[in-house]
Amino acid sequence: MTDTKKPWGGRFERSPGRFLDEFGASLHVDKRMWAHDIKGSIAHARMLAETGVISSADADAIEAGLSEIYREIRDGKFEWHIADEDVHMAIERALTERIGPAGGRLHTARSRNDQVALDTRMYAKGAALELLAASSALCEALVTMAENHRETIMPGYTHMQKAQPVLFAHHLLAYFWMLTRDATRFRHAYEAADVMPLGSAALAGTTFPIDRQYVAGRLGFSEVSPNSMDSVSDRDFLLDLTYACTVTMVHLSRLCEELILWSTDEFGFITMDDTYATGSSIMPQKKNPDFAELVRGKSGRVVGDLVGLLTVLKGLPLAYNKDMQEDKEGAFDAVDTTIAALTVLTGMVPAMRVNADRMLTGAHGGFTAATDLADHLARAGMPFREAHEVVGRLVLDLEGQGRTLQDLTAEEYAAVHASFGPETPAVVEIRNVVERRSSEGGTGHAAVVAQLERARDTLEVDIAWSESAAE
């Protein structure tokens, strides 16, 4: 029968009982860190042997026992027990059952406080790299689609009203640059987590002659924490990771909002692939963009994950407090949800069909060339505010007539104002309107080609950083 005696039970006459055991347990959440826990424990045991705190024979037995447990968990054969409270005690209990007293020496010079900090940092580093990979995949999909639509023109919007025509590639690249900023935040989260806390013990360090640098090197950490109290109570790196996930999900939600709008009959700019849509249980004609809607909806939950973690941490005195057990569930959810959402969109974007003709038709509506017409008058010497007034009145008149700026002949323009010359119809031709915006970062063709080259370079740098960090 499994011994479920508490590792801290010596000071107590009565145990909490089953209900409180279950209330206080985190095993259902933190057992996903089992691999990190085992790797950290092997490194700790080897360090204890190197410094003479335990014998090499004990360290060998510990490593062999932990390796056996690793294989059992990996293969789904390990038995978890809620009375163990958490992943740390579950593994230590199993180890001691296997190897006897040597297993009890593993926890020398270590507390669960610095142990969980280590496991969580190892998790956060790995999660940041997974997020970077998923983000890079979506960036690749966006850049590839942008490259395929360098000539496709669509209406750009402000206040959800048609404003000026833009290249579809330019619009897609706006989301690419959002995601590159998200990648920067994921890299920062990785670097914030890349500090080794083990050796801080409960809060004040340890009396044993440990070698923290040895453990840091073995586990791939860049440095060790400088203050033991801060080390066991710091969850800033989890905040950084969860915040990065939150901003990414906000960006993905905005993208999904546009994809949902564009897929409606009213817009008709894109057609969702059947793989990324579902039907109605009652309306046979429906093709619903459910997966884009789900990403949009799940973004709210990830925002809640961040707020929850901030709220857990906001009033905690130093050093470790049990409240911090609640740090992982929201962070895990934020990471899992963000990776899933990035993966969904990585498939959805290249699979959708772009209706370029409908986009171009849309760009002709809404008087999207009006600013260029006002600029044309300003170049002829008219004060811009006066030019704005002249074009505004013209738009009002044409709106009442059901006509567009492109419908007017040179003679009709001249009748509106003497400053309009024979070149005016070409001024408002939609492709010309787009091409004029050749400023760096603009939507003109040459500017977008340059932007695409820069995007490719940026993506290569991001991927190279991730590959280097993963080595």
What are 122-137's pLDDT values in tens digits? 999 999 999 999 999 9
Query: What confidence score (pLDDT) does residue 61 get?
Result: 99
Residue 297, domain CATH: 1.20.200.10
| pLDDT for 6 | 67
Domain boundary among 297, 327, 355: 355
Residue at 238 is within a domain: yes
Predicted pLDDT at 296? 98
Together in a domain, 172 and 310:
yes
Domain-embedded: residue 303? yes
pLDDT digits (tens, 9 = 90+) for 262-318: 999 999 999 999 999 999 999 999 999 999 999 999 999 999 999 999 999 999 999
Same domain, 92 and 191: no
Share of the chain above pLDDT 90, in %: 94
Give CA–CA dist 342/137, Å, rounded: 8
Which residues, including other chains, have CB under 8 Å from residue 42's CB and lie 6 or more apart? 62, 63, 66, 67
pLDDT band for position 2 (cuts 50, 70, 90):
very low
Q: Among residues 323, 341, 297, 428, which one has the least CA distance to residue 134?
A: 341
Tell me, yes or no, whether 134 and 255 share the same domain: yes
Distance separating alpha carbons of residues 34 and 26, to the nearest angstrom: 13
Instruction: Say whether pLDDT at 454 is over 70.
Output: yes
Q: Which two tokens stand for residue 137?
A: 């995949």
**Does 61 share its domain with 180?**
no
Note whether 190 and 241 are same-domain residues. Answer: yes
Which of 293, 327, 355 represents a domain boundary (last residue)? 355
Residue 439: inside a domain = no
**Could you write out the three-class secondary structure of the chain?**
CCCCCCCCHHHCCCCCCHHHHHHHCCHHHHHHHHHHHHHHHHHHHHHHHHCCCCCHHHHHHHHHHHHHHHHHHHCCCCCCCHHHCCHHHHHHHHHHHHHCHHHHCCCCCCCHHHHHHHHHHHHHHHHHHHHHHHHHHHHHHHHHHHHHCCCCEEEEEECCEEEEEEEHHHHHHHHHHHHHHHHHHHHHHHHHHCEECCCCCCCCCCCCCCCHHHHHHHHCCCEECCCHHHHHHCCHHHHHHHHHHHHHHHHHHHHHHHHHHHCCCCCCCEECCHHHCECCCCCCCCCECHHHHHHHHHHHHHHHHHHHHHHHHCCCCCCCCHHHHHHHHHHHHHHHHHHHHHHHHHHHHHHCEECHHHHHHHHHHHHCCHHHHHHHHHHCCCCHHHHHHHHHHHHHHHHHHCCCHHHCCHHHHHHHCCCCCCCHHHHCCHHHHHHHCCCCCCCCHHHHHHHHHHHHHHHHHHHHHHHHHHC
The catalytic position among 55, 67, 159, 376 is 159
351: exposed, middle or buried (Cβ count in 10 Å: 0-12, 13-18, 19+): middle
Q: Would you state the structure tokens that stand for residue 419, as one six-digit string?
A: 């400053």
Residue 3 has pLDDT above 60, yes or no: no
Contact yes or no for 265/355 (Cβ under 8 A): no
- The label of the residue with tokens 């579902």 reads 278
Provide the residue range defining the domain that includes 104.
Answer: 15-108
Can you give the pLDDT at residue 15? Answer: 76
Residues 133 and 101 in one domain: no
Judgement on whether residues 190 and 261 belong to the same structural domain of the protein = yes
Note whether 186 and 95 are same-domain residues: no
Does the active-site annotation cover 44? no
Mean pLDDT, range 414-426, rounded to an integer: 95
Cα–Cα nearest to 46, from 31, 61, 34, 35 = 61
* pLDDT > 70: percent of the chain: 98
Q: Report if residue 244 sits inside a domain.
A: yes
Other beta carbons within 10 angstroms of residue 107's beta carbon come to 17
Question: Which amino acid belongs to residue 451?
Answer: Q
Residue 286 near residue 280, CB atoms below 8 Å: yes
Residue 308 shares a structural domain with residue 202? yes
In the chain, what is the greatest distance between 2 CA atoms, to the nearest angstrom? Answer: 100
How confident is the model over 10-45, as pLDDT tens digits? 777 677 778 888 899 999 999 999 999 999 999 999
For the chain, the domain total comes to 2
Do residues 179 and 210 share a domain? yes
Please give the model's pTM, rounded to 2 decimal places.
Answer: 0.94
CA-nearest of 455, 434, 366 to 151 is 434
219 is a domain residue = yes
8, pLDDT greater than 80: no
**Which one from 15, 55, 67, 280 is the annotated catalytic residue?**
280
Please state, in angstroms and rounded to a whole number, the distance separating the CA atoms of residues 335 and 133. Answer: 13
Q: Give the Cα separation of 373 and 375 in Å (integer).
A: 5
For residue 466, being part of any structural domain is answered with no
- Please tell me the distance from the alpha carbon of residue 259 to that of residue 281, in angstroms, as a whole number: 23
CATH number at residue 41: 1.10.275.10
Same domain, 198 and 328: yes
Is 251 a member of any domain?
A: yes
Residue 153 lies inside a defined structural domain of this protein: no
Residue 299 appears among annotated catalytic residues: no
Residues present in the chain in total: 471
What pLDDT does 21 receive?
Answer: 82
**pLDDT band at residue 1, thresholds of 50, 70 and 90?**
very low
Average pLDDT, the chain: 96
pLDDT of residue 4: 54
201 within 8 A of 226, measured Cβ to Cβ: no
Same domain, 189 and 301: yes
